[in-house]
């Protein structure tokens, strides 16, 4: 069972002790991401994620890296639509020093102007890099379709205009507003005692202000008709992304949705992999992903397709979605899916880093973390009727969104649009 303590200022500390491990993984998850931004500061959460590594009240930029990496540890961070997380993995004997560094840089960054200016150019290059990669750019186009004129449809890294215009003062204001103890969860996993970790957090961070909870704009309601967008680019391969508004992180059917993902495109045994790649040779890469947030989500199919076969591939993908929506799944296929799902969870949680991120993010978004046994029991209860019901609810043709990047002809665009309209 996980241990959780809430400090006086609202900071949540959650740990999972695994005796005998040689490492401790620790993280600080902040309840802020891209959807908390308006257009003027689009990319601020990601910009701030970069800039805190440049120096803090007690550590220089060089010391932050050297004191972690110099003893064999690793340090990194990521930003999503709703979460920014900073994390480190360190040999057990160094975890106290590592925690002090991690906490100092996250909550007490200097945000020096010269570093803001340097990092601005780095982020601009990052934006260009992802725009140049069609397999990533197509997902950005899809986000715009799924959540038009909403922060969820914007680029997490920002735009050239927002990044060039963002000042040190705006970054400091964004940090002060969102990086409060009440918006944070500190998690750790490995050979670490909960009480000792709580003492470290209390000594270092109990004076951090609790702050007020920040809110975001609700996600727009799913559309009533399908949408398409095409971006002409001279590539050797078409990149396709089909997205459907789906379940939120808190939805009771979210494990069933994950099973739909496994059945359709989660591995090499999946329906789409077998039908589109193995049997027809229409794509090299094809798979599905599920994105979940507090009030919305998306079920996404991605494929890299031969330029001449884009229409055939899209038609087959739609056919498979319709097939599971109408016909559901047989018990044997569902049992294999359950075993794969449970096995993947168990394998992932052998690593202290994955375990730490899991309990940290679950505590941040749900204010609690289910045990593995509770999740396994939820998975085992799913029936073929449940899968069919959720498939019928999600895969509604009027909610389909299709983005394609590549050297599309006028005829291909017309045919793809007609396919989506026909459902």
Domain extents for the chain?
3-205, 227-422
Instruction: Summarize the confidence of residues 289-314 as an average pLDDT.
Output: 96
Average pLDDT over residues 185-205: 97
> Same CATH topology for 3-205 and 227-422?
yes
CATH number of 3-205: 3.30.830.10
**Residue 222 in this model has a pLDDT that exceeds 90:** no
CA pair distance 142, 146, nearest whole angstrom: 6
* Arch. (CATH architecture) of 227-422: 2-Layer Sandwich (3.30)
Residue 385 has pLDDT above 90, yes or no: yes
3-state secondary structure of 293: coil
The Cα–Cα gap between 130 and 138 comes to: 10
Return d(Cα 47, Cα 32) in angstroms, integer. 12
**Contact status, residue 277 vs residue 333, Cβ threshold 8 Å:** no
User: What does the pLDDT read at residue 340?
Assistant: 98
Q: State both tokens at 20.
A: 């005998």
Residue percentage of the chain with pLDDT more than 90: 92
* Residue 292 pLDDT level (bands cut at 50, 70, 90): very high
pLDDT of residue 396: 96
- Give this prediction's pTM: 0.94
* Enzyme catalytic residues: 49
Q: Using an 8 Å Cβ cutoff, are 310 and 232 in contact?
A: no
When comparing pLDDT for 183 and 368, which is higher?
A: 183
Residue-wise pLDDT for 68-123, tens only, equals 999 999 999 999 999 999 999 999 999 999 999 999 999 999 999 999 999 999 99
Mean per-residue pLDDT for 307-323?
97
Classified as helix, coil or strand, 150 is coil
CB 402 within 8 A of CB 227: yes
| pLDDT value of position 70 | 96
Q: Please check the confidence at residue 52 and state whether its pLDDT lies above 80.
A: yes
Q: Residue 44: its pLDDT value, please?
A: 97
Inter-residue contact 204 to 56 (CB < 8 Å): no
61 exposure class (CB count in 10 Å sphere: 0-12, 13-18, 19+): middle
**124-164 residue pLDDT tens:** 999 999 999 999 999 999 999 999 999 999 999 999 999 99
Which pLDDT belongs to residue 293?
A: 96
Q: Are strands 23-30 and 184-190 parallel, antiparallel or unpaired?
A: antiparallel
In the sheet that 84-91 helps form, which strands lie side by side, from edge to edge? 3-6, 12-17, 184-190, 23-30, 84-91, 74-79
Average pLDDT over residues 181-194: 96
3-state secondary structure of 410: helix
**CB pairs under 8 A, 24+ apart, for 363-369?**
363/4, 363/12, 363/14, 363/29, 363/185, 363/187, 364/12, 364/29, 364/31, 364/83, 364/184, 364/185, 365/82, 365/83, 365/249, 365/294, 366/249, 366/250, 367/12, 368/4, 369/2, 369/14
pLDDT at 212 > cutoff 80: no
Percent of the chain surpassing pLDDT 70: 100
Average pLDDT, the chain: 95
C-alpha 418, offset from chain centre: 32
Query: What does the pLDDT look like over 390-419, one tens digit per residue?
Result: 999 999 999 999 999 999 999 999 999 999
Model pLDDT, residue 109: 97
Q: Could you tell me the sign of the dihedral formed by the alpha carbons of 43, 399, 269, 258, in that order?
A: positive
Residue 221 has pLDDT above 90, yes or no: no
Q: Is the pLDDT of residue 423 over 80?
A: no
Q: Which residues pair with 304 in a beta bridge?
A: 239, 285
């Amino acid at each position: 069972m996980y241990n959780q303590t809430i400090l006086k200022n609202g900071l949540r500390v959650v740990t999972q002790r695994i005796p005998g491990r040689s490492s401790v993984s620790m993280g600080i998850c902040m309840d802020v991401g891209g959807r908390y931004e308006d257009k003027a500061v689009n990319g601020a959460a990601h910009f701030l994620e970069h800039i805190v590594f440049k120096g803090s009240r007690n550590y220089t930029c060089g010391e932050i890296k050297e004191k972690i990496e110099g003893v064999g540890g690793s340090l990194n961070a990521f930003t999503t639509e709703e979460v920014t997380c900073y994390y480190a993995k360190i040999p057990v004997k160094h975890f106290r020093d590592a925690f002090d560094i991690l906490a100092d840089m996250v909550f007490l960054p200097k945000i020096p102007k010269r570093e803001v200016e340097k990092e601005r150019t780095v982020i601009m290059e990052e934006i260009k890099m992802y725009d140049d990669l069609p397999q990533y750019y197509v997902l950005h186009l899809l986000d715009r379709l799924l959540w038009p004129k909403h922060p969820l449809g914007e680029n997490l890294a920002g735009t050239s205009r927002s990044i060039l215009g963002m000042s040190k003062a705006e970054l400091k204001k964004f940090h002060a507003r969102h990086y409060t103890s009440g918006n944070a969860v500190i998690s750790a996993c490995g050979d670490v005692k909960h009480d000792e970790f709580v003492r470290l957090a209390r000594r270092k961070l109990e004076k951090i202000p609790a702050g007020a909870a920040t809110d975001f704009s609700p996600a727009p309601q799913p559309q009533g008709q399908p949408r398409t967008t095409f971006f002409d680019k001279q590539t050797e391969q078409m990149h396709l992304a089909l997205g459907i508004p789906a379940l939120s992180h808190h939805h009771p059917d979210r494990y069933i949705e994950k099973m739909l993902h496994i059945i359709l495109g989660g591995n090499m045994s999946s329906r789409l992999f077998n039908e589109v790649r193995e049997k027809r040779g229409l794509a090299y890469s094809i798979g599905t992903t599920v994105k979940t947030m507090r009030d919305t989500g998306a079920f996404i199919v991605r494929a890299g397709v031969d330029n001449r076969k884009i229409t055939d591939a899209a038609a087959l993908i739609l056919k498979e979605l319709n097939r599971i929506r109408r016909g559901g799944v047989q018990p044997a296929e569902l049992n294999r899916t359950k075993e794969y799902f449970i096995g993947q969870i168990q394998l992932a949680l052998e690593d202290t880093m994955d375990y730490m991120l899991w309990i940290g993010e679950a505590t941040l978004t749900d204010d609690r973390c289910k045990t593995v046994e509770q999740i396994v029991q939820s998975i085992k209860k799913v029936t073929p009727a449940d899968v069919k019901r959720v498939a019928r609810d999600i895969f509604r043709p009027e909610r389909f969104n299709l983005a394609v990047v590549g050297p599309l002809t006028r005829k291909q665009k017309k045919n793809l649009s007609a396919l989506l309209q026909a459902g």
